[in-house]
């Protein structure tokens, strides 16, 4: 179960104490998943950004990466609005839930291996309650690996590939995308057209 007071990773909880001192009005705690309880689509990001999800308390909200993500969710019928700015903005996700592989803000946006592994127990629980035919959309290599680990699968059987689509034995599917980070979108590693195609793939898989 998600724990707002989790201090399992000493480096991250110490860092959050510093961040709370500096930015008193920031959420600056583990960021809970957002969206419906039994989603058809579970989106797994990496970790909250300092002035984004870490500040607002909602994944990808206030982060540059969230701009294109929430636009796509709206465009493809997974939400009631195309922006996510704060907890009181009236956003409602449909069929969809968004979480992060690492729930706490990591220094320099880089969680270390131990932190990704420790936080994996939350992902294990989150993956248990998704729809039987759900799609798990992994944003980037780290989230992909975290999902494979949380599902108890062998990493070498499931290499990360942008646009890759793995059907799992239990009826669920994993779809991979490059992360929609500022760096990836600025360098055009991930264009809007590419990300749009991923959502078309997701909807085709879900028969929506
Ligand atoms: N904000 C999040 O919540 N997750 C990411 O992966 C990036 C930004």
Question: What is the domain range of residue 23?
Answer: 10-206
Alpha carbon of 91 to ligand 1 centroid (Å): 17
Phi, psi of 42 (to 5 degrees): -110, 120
Alpha carbon of 145 to ligand 1 centroid (Å): 16
Mean pLDDT of 132-137: 96
Residue 184: inside a domain, yes or no?
yes
d(CA 194, CA 187): 13
Residue 58: inside a domain, yes or no?
yes
| CATH code of the domain covering residue 104 | 3.40.470.10
Residue 4: inside a domain, yes or no?
no
How much of the chain, in percent, has pLDDT values that exceed 70?
Answer: 100
pLDDT at 1: 87
Residue 3: inside a domain, yes or no?
no
Q: Give me the chain's average pLDDT, please.
A: 98
Alpha carbon of 46 to ligand 1 centroid (Å): 5
Alpha carbon of 29 to ligand 1 centroid (Å): 14
Nearest Cα residue to 51 out of 30, 28, 18, 76: 28
Mean pLDDT of 34-60: 98
Residue 1: inside a domain, yes or no?
no
Nearest Cα residue to 126 out of 89, 153, 101, 158: 101
Question: Number of structural domains, the chain?
Answer: 1
pLDDT, tens only, 24-37: 999 999 999 999 99
Confidence label for 82 from pLDDT (cuts 50, 70 and 90): very high
How many angstroms separate the Cα of 2 from the Cα of each of 149, 160, 190, 202? 18, 26, 31, 26
Confidence label for 204 from pLDDT (cuts 50, 70 and 90): very high
pLDDT, tens only, 117-128: 999 999 999 999
Instruction: Name the residue of 32, 51, 52, 137 to mutate for ligand 1: max ligand atoms within 8 A of Cβ.
Output: 52
Residue 74: inside a domain, yes or no?
yes
Q: Which residues line ligand 1 (CB under 6 A)?
A: 45-49, 52-53, 59-60, 63, 65, 100
How much of the chain, in percent, has pLDDT values that exceed 90?
Answer: 99
Residue 2: inside a domain, yes or no?
no
């Amino acid at each position: 179960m998600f724990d707002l007071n989790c201090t399992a990773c000493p480096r991250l909880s110490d860092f959050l104490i510093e961040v709370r001192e500096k930015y008193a009005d920031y959420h600056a705690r583990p960021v809970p998943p957002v969206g419906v309880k039994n989603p058809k689509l579970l989106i797994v990001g990496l970790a909250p950004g300092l002035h984004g999800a870490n500040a607002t308390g909602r994944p990808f909200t206030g982060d540059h990466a969230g701009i294109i993500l929430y636009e796509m969710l709206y465009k493809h019928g997974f939400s009631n609005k195309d922006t996510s700015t704060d907890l009181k903005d009236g956003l409602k996700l449909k069929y969809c839930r968004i979480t992060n592989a690492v729930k706490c803000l990591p220094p320099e946006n880089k969680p270390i291996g131990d932190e990704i592994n420790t936080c994996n127990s939350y992902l294990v629980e989150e993956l248990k309650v998704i729809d039987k035919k759900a799609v798990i959309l992994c944003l980037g290599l780290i989230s992909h690996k975290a999902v494979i680990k949380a599902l108890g699968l062998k990493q070498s059987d499931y290499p990360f590939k942008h646009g890759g689509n793995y059907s799992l034995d239990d009826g669920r599917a994993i779809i991979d995308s490059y992360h929609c980070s500022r760096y990836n979108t600025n360098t055009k590693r991930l264009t809007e057209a590419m990300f749009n195609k991923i959502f078309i793939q997701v909807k085709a898989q879900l028969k929506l």
